Amino acid sequence: MAKPPVIRKGVPKGDKRQRTRKTLVEAAAAVIAERGFDRTSIEAVCTRANLSRGSFYGNFKSREDLFLAVMDSQWRPIEADFRLGAPLRTQMRILGEAVAAQARERRPMAAGAAAFQLYVLTHPHMTERMTARNAETLAAMAAGFARIAPGGLPMPADRFARVVDALITGLMFTAFQTPDLLSDADIIAAFEALAGPEQPAPSPWTGGHAQTLLRPGR
């Protein structure tokens, strides 16, 4: 009689890879917090994670790829639950409220985000990579704003996306640096002003929602 097949129970290979990647990202975040981006090496991260260089290169092509993964894990997109069919000023108020809330929540991570920006500014190849990444993000934002603003935007959608992205970054870092001088109401007012005066909705709102993700400071 043939032996019954052996059923190996355990974690699927894909899950193991995800766990390894997560371990490397967490180790890198810890090393970066101690040494900064420039002084964080692949060797230091692997030692902290108790993993080999082979494990590292099985998940990341370079140190910069790891740094981007660290920022993606710690600097998640802002979620704005826009209301389909609502006027643009209402949509911008919703976005302003989301940005104000995240400015408070992310204050403990402000130094890390600023350090990453400095690293990008002082490493031309990273500036090029961030430009390419941000171009994709801005294109998606422009398409999203065109969908939620049936009455039209005050400027072309691609420019509107760039202005909103810059506004988010500027307001959040101002809130980080001087939290007592910039209130939630100030942040919300900035986005409402960008939309201009309130306009009536072009059609009755049916209760739908459209969640749009925006990446601040990228």
- Give pLDDT tens digits for 79-115: 899 998 899 999 999 999 999 999 999 999 898 899 9
Q: Does 4 have pLDDT greater than 50?
A: no
Nearest CA to 81 among 216, 215, 208, 218? Answer: 208
**Bridge partners (DSSP) listed for residue 212:** 80
> What are the residue ranges spanned by the domains of the chain?
13-72, 76-214
Architecture, CATH, for domain 76-214: Orthogonal Bundle (1.10)
Structure confidence at residue 85 (pLDDT): 86
Task: Give the CATH fold of the 13-72 domain.
Answer: Arc Repressor Mutant, subunit A (1.10.10)
Where do we find the tokens 């490493």?
123
Burial (CB count <10 Å: 0-12, 13-18, 19+), residue 133: middle
Please tell me the distance from the alpha carbon of residue 101 to that of residue 187, in angstroms, as a whole number: 10
**Bridge partners (DSSP) listed for residue 78:** 214
Q: Does 8 have pLDDT greater than 70?
A: no
What confidence tens digit (pLDDT) does each residue in 161-213 have? 999 999 999 999 999 999 999 999 999 999 999 998 765 555 544 444 455 55
**Bridge partners (DSSP) listed for residue 210:** 82
Structure confidence at residue 56 (pLDDT): 95
What pTM does this model have?
0.77
Nearest CA to 216 among 117, 83, 128, 149? Answer: 117
What confidence tens digit (pLDDT) does each residue in 107-159 have? 998 988 999 999 999 999 999 999 999 999 999 999 999 998 877 899 999 99
Other C-beta atoms lying within 10 Å of the C-beta of residue 77: 14
The answer to whether the CB of 155 falls within 8 A of the CB of 195 is no
